[in-house]
Amino acid sequence: MELRRLTYFLAVADELHFGRAASRLGIAQPPLSRQIAALEADIGAQLFDRSRSQIRLTQAGEVLEGHARQLVDRLDAAYKETRLVGAGGAGRLRVAFVGSASHGVLPSLIKSYRSHYPKVELALSAMNNAALHSALVQREIDIAVARPELKDEELRRVPLERERLILAVPDNSDLATRETIRFAELGDQAFVLYPRRPRPSYADFVLDLCRQADFEPATLELAQDYQTAIALVSVGVGISVVPESVSRTTRPGVFFRSYEGPNPGTGLTIHARRDNQSRQVLQFLDVAQRFVRSR
Amino acid sequence: MELRRLTYFLAVADELHFGRAASRLGIAQPPLSRQIAALEADIGAQLFDRSRSQIRLTQAGEVLEGHARQLVDRLDAAYKETRLVGAGGAGRLRVAFVGSASHGVLPSLIKSYRSHYPKVELALSAMNNAALHSALVQREIDIAVARPELKDEELRRVPLERERLILAVPDNSDLATRETIRFAELGDQAFVLYPRRPRPSYADFVLDLCRQADFEPATLELAQDYQTAIALVSVGVGISVVPESVSRTTRPGVFFRSYEGPNPGTGLTIHARRDNQSRQVLQFLDVAQRFVRSR
DNA sequence: CCCGGCTCATGCGCTTTGGGTATGATCACG
DNA sequence: CGTGATCATACCCAAAGCGCATGAGCCGGG
């Protein structure tokens, strides 16, 4: 069951002449004769009819020839495809991101990667920070785009985007039309924050801001994720503090307003397992770094 | 591009453990590690992620695994099929015969061979003796069933059937109802003989009989083959001298009558090239010999 | 009818490749 | 921080493959 013999066999089947086949293979004629003889012994049947000066394939030889050509071609294709996947030129990359990232630069980054590696299938999904971390550790995803960055020494990080915070307010709130908004004046507002779990979360980060401005929100609603929170804002449940980039997408019922007061901003960070050395991941991080530098 | 490495790779992919894979393959672990390393070097990509205690396939490894399984299976199937064809258990056998043979024992012989080797595809065709000889020499057929036997030392022969000659007469001829027919009395008859080419042929053999009986046919019509000749008899063109076995098939317009007089008989003989040692041919001849002996 | 050339098979020595044993390096786990 | 497990490396030996020389069978020409 050795492949070299099949390629030798095919050369002889092509040339119908041991000497020419041997020189085509770059070997001498005697070893070729021996290899063919060994193949015939292995199969237990003559593959060539050598009774005449011009040799010819037997029926068994013809059958084997068809299969052998297919096999050699398929093996070659398999090697090529494996090489391509190994080099990161094809395959699959599972990228997950926090919901609020879909309004910022992430889509542009994704587009850039796709243009560089069009044959890599991208599996995109949205989840909150905790789910991102868990999915990375469980190897359910290769890349996590989190906000804020995940604290885990086993992960490598690439900062993607840093942005200011703004307010998302319902369109029927007086905040929607007020000239300027000072953060310290929001003590009587209902706050919609996210995510609910796990604590401490981005919600706690915002609550810290409130404490810095010497108030506690009058009402506090904790949503599972950004998408739910902004939906609650749009129906008038309360206001939320969100990254500036989400204001690029207009949304019925929601006004985005900047404010005066504490604004440490928020950062979007790309994460991958350090031990995931797959070319797809390395190349994605590379594209991301160049993408960030070019801005 | 060596196949052993693929089977080794598959063993490791199955076990995800070099030690177990090695013992399953019946080799020690170090050479297995080396072969996998060589395969990875050949492909230029990691196939296994060895960073953890439990190794796992990389994307490239998964791609190769799928292809490798198919390849190994197909190669195995190819060897099996080639073996079967080489042993004569499958494949193709091209058998040609003279038209007058299709009424005798040949169909039974064919049936017997089919029952012994049902997977061998039989390509049957009818042609006259000259065409049979030419087709055998040109290797267009493997077996020729000729009448009389072909004179060629390069052919091996198996006598199949020996039979008497009888007359085929039109049903409106007075010969059809006559009590007994003496061959010598046929001088005033129109003879339909075959084949037309090449001379000397079966027709000349019959004409020799006439000369032995001291007459020349009043009229002589030469047909291309037996089928044409019997058709001419059926429409009243004349009488013909045919092997007895054709009378087993009744034919509208034709009466078969035995006669008194010279009757050297005629023989059906199976031929194959001596240098055609294919199992299909040898086995057919073997079946034929046993078939003849059993009668 | 024999001889020479062509073609595939065989004998023999050498190189390459593959496998075995011993051991090292790394990592998880107690 | 040691211990066992696991894969990689070092080294040696056996088997397989290759090249060269040569034999055997066949065909065509003198």
Confidence of residue A29 (pLDDT cuts 50, 70, 90): very high
Contact at CB, A44 and B87, closer than 8 angstroms: yes
pLDDT (0 to 100) of residue B79: 94
DSSP code, position A194: -
Contact at CB, A79 and B1, closer than 8 angstroms: yes
User: Protein A53 CA to nucleic acid D27 C1', in Å?
Assistant: 8
What average pLDDT does range A116-140 have in this prediction?
91
Q: Is A184 exposed, middle or buried (0-12, 13-18, 19+ CB in 10 A)?
A: middle
pLDDT (0 to 100) of residue B292: 93
Judged by DSSP in three states, B83 sits in helix
Protein residue closest to C10, using CA and C1': A30
Who among B45, B71, B83 is closest to A43 (CB)?
A: B83
When the pLDDT of each residue in chain B is averaged and rounded to a whole number, the result is: 90
Chain A residues within 8 A of B82 when measuring between CB atoms: 43, 45, 47, 60, 63-64, 67
Indicate whether A52 pLDDT > 80.
Answer: no
pLDDT (0 to 100) of residue A113: 96
The pair of structure tokens assigned to B177 is 């109802």
pLDDT (0 to 100) of residue A2: 82
Confidence of residue A202 (pLDDT cuts 50, 70, 90): confident
Contact at CB, A75 and B76, closer than 8 angstroms: no
pLDDT (0 to 100) of residue A43: 92
DSSP A214-282: T---SEEEE-SSHHHHHHHHHTTS-BEEEEGGGGGS-BTTEEEE--BS----EEEEEEEETT---HHHH
pLDDT (0 to 100) of residue A148: 84
pLDDT tens profile A151-189: 888 889 999 999 999 999 998 888 888 888 998 888 888
Chain B residues within 8 A of A46 when measuring between CB atoms: 86, 277
Chain A residues within 8 A of B7 when measuring between CB atoms: 1
Indicate whether A48 pLDDT > 80.
Answer: yes
**Residue B41: CB partners within 8 Å, gap ≥ 6?**
none
CA of B37 vs chain A CAs: smallest distance (Å): 14
Using a CB–CB cutoff of 8 Å, tell me whether B51 touches chain A: yes
pLDDT tens profile B167-177: 999 988 888 88
pLDDT (0 to 100) of residue A40: 94
Instruction: Phi first, then psi: give them for residue A168, nearest 5 degrees.
Output: -105, 120
Percentage of chain A lying above the pLDDT 70 cut: 99
pLDDT (0 to 100) of residue B195: 85
pLDDT (0 to 100) of residue A89: 82
**Which of residues 54 through 73 in chain B touch A, CB cutoff 8 A?**
58-60, 63-64, 67-68, 70-71
CA of A117 vs chain B CAs: smallest distance (Å): 16
What average pLDDT does range A21-41 have in this prediction?
94
What average pLDDT does range B207-217 have in this prediction?
88
CA of A119 vs chain B CAs: smallest distance (Å): 14
Nucleotides of strand D lying closer than 7 angstroms to a protein CB: 6-10, 17-22, 26-27
Q: Where are the beta strands (DSSP E) in chain A?
A: 48-49, 56-57, 91-97, 120-126, 143-146, 155-163, 165-170, 190-193, 219-222, 240-243, 254-257, 266-273
Higher-pLDDT residue of B232, B261: B232
What average pLDDT does range A52-64 have in this prediction?
89
What average pLDDT does range B5-16 have in this prediction?
94
CA of B217 vs chain A CAs: smallest distance (Å): 47
Using a CB–CB cutoff of 8 Å, tell me whether B107 touches chain A: no
Number of CB pairs < 8 Å for A and B? 127
User: Protein B225 CA to nucleic acid C27 C1', in Å?
Assistant: 87
pLDDT (0 to 100) of residue A5: 93
Confidence of residue B232 (pLDDT cuts 50, 70, 90): very high
Confidence of residue A108 (pLDDT cuts 50, 70, 90): very high
DSSP code, position B260: B
Indicate whether A203 pLDDT > 90.
Answer: no
Q: Is A29 exposed, middle or buried (0-12, 13-18, 19+ CB in 10 A)?
A: middle
Percentage of chain A lying above the pLDDT 90 cut: 57
Indicate whether A98 pLDDT > 80.
Answer: yes
Q: Does residue A163 contact residue A242 with C-beta atoms inside 8 Å?
A: no
pLDDT (0 to 100) of residue B277: 85
**Which of residues 259 through 288 in chain B touch A, CB cutoff 8 A?**
275, 277-280
What average pLDDT does range B177-198 have in this prediction?
86
pLDDT tens profile B68-113: 999 999 999 999 999 999 998 899 999 999 988 988 899 999 999 9
Higher-pLDDT residue of B280, A154: B280
User: Protein A34 CA to nucleic acid C10 C1', in Å?
Assistant: 9
d(Cα B39, Cα B65) in Å, to the nearest integer? 13
Confidence of residue B2 (pLDDT cuts 50, 70, 90): confident
